[in-house]
Amino acid sequence: MASELQKIVDATEKKLKALETRIANSKVQIVKLQKENQGETSVFNGYIGPVNADTTLIYKKIYSNVGDAYNKSTGIFTAPVRGVYYFSFFYHCSVKNPTWLALYRNGKKEAITKHHKTECYTENGGNGLTLLLEKGDQVYMVLQKETWIWDGDDFVTVFCGFLLNAM
């Protein structure tokens, strides 16, 4: 009985080590993909895309960042306090390129705006929502794989967030 139990323990430990190795390899792959996409995601001056994986956008033109809650290196807004926050986002793109832009909170999609190829000249989209965030929650924008956005002198793709009520 003891030897059978030891075999089960040994097999479980072997599976656990294999899973740990897979997780470590996945983390290395994630870092590699982030580095590969880094040059494509810095917003913006012209077309961004198509990206080869769902990609967090990094907005370089910052209009206001009171308290430095928005990290200019990662594109992530981190809630400095628990409270109710309002977020909005808008994009501009030509019709020959599809767009799918989503706001994420802590890895979960909360809101999207998108368009498919159309017969119009250009497309614009946007969305906004109010979220109750805990201190440290992260909010960011993701451009979906194989889609595009545009940002230039006359057309602006923006992401905005601010605290409505601290709790």
Q: What is the pLDDT of residue 16?
A: 73
DSSP per-residue letters across 7-25? HHHHHHHHHHHHHHHHHHH
Q: What is the pLDDT of residue 121?
A: 62
What is the model's pTM?
0.69
For residue 153, give the 3-state DSSP assignment: coil
CB-based contact 122:92 (threshold 8 Å)? yes
Rounded mean pLDDT for each run of 10 residues along the chain, 167 residues in total = 79 78 65 49 61 88 88 94 94 76 95 73 82 97 87 73 94
Q: What class does CATH assign to 42-166?
A: mainly beta
Q: What is the pLDDT of residue 111?
A: 94
Distance set, CA 16 to CA 22, 69, 166 (Å): 10, 38, 43
DSSP per-residue letters across 37-79? HHHHHEE-SEEE---SS-EE-EE---S--GGG-EETTTTEEE-
CA neighbor of 75 nearest in space, from 51, 98, 95, 93: 51
3-state helix, strand, coil in the chain (%, to 5): 25, 45, 30
Residues pairing with 131 in the sheet: 85
Q: What is the pLDDT of residue 9?
A: 77
